[in-house]
Structure 1
């Protein structure tokens, strides 16, 4: 996979830097704010998905093979 959570962090900071650009007009600030809101909405979903994957990995680490039928994406599905 090409994108990593570190890349997401970079995108979020880039959006923050664009919002902090004092040379922007009111219209440009409004446009950047809408763009930043869209980035944050997607970022929230990416982070939520990463959290779900981490919880599934923890279940597997804590309970071993017994949870694989309930976690078909990390194990063999029947």
Structure 2
């Protein structure tokens, strides 16, 4: 499961990154394996997606969200 598969309000733990090609800025903001992530909002045309990682609200593209594999910890 990846960030794209989350429903609004659903949370997960970052497991790994596909292709190891995540932008450095996301890593600096806390998108690291083991950290909790929550889907906060999705823009009208499904791009970008707004996530909460360690208290930071971040907008990411769906193409980037597909690279972040998760273990789900809370169902909505």
Q: TM-score, normalised by structure 1?
A: 0.22
Higher strand share: 2
Q: TM-score, normalised by structure 2?
A: 0.22
Higher helix share: 1
Higher relative contact order (CA 8 A, sep 6+): 2
- Greater gyration radius: 1
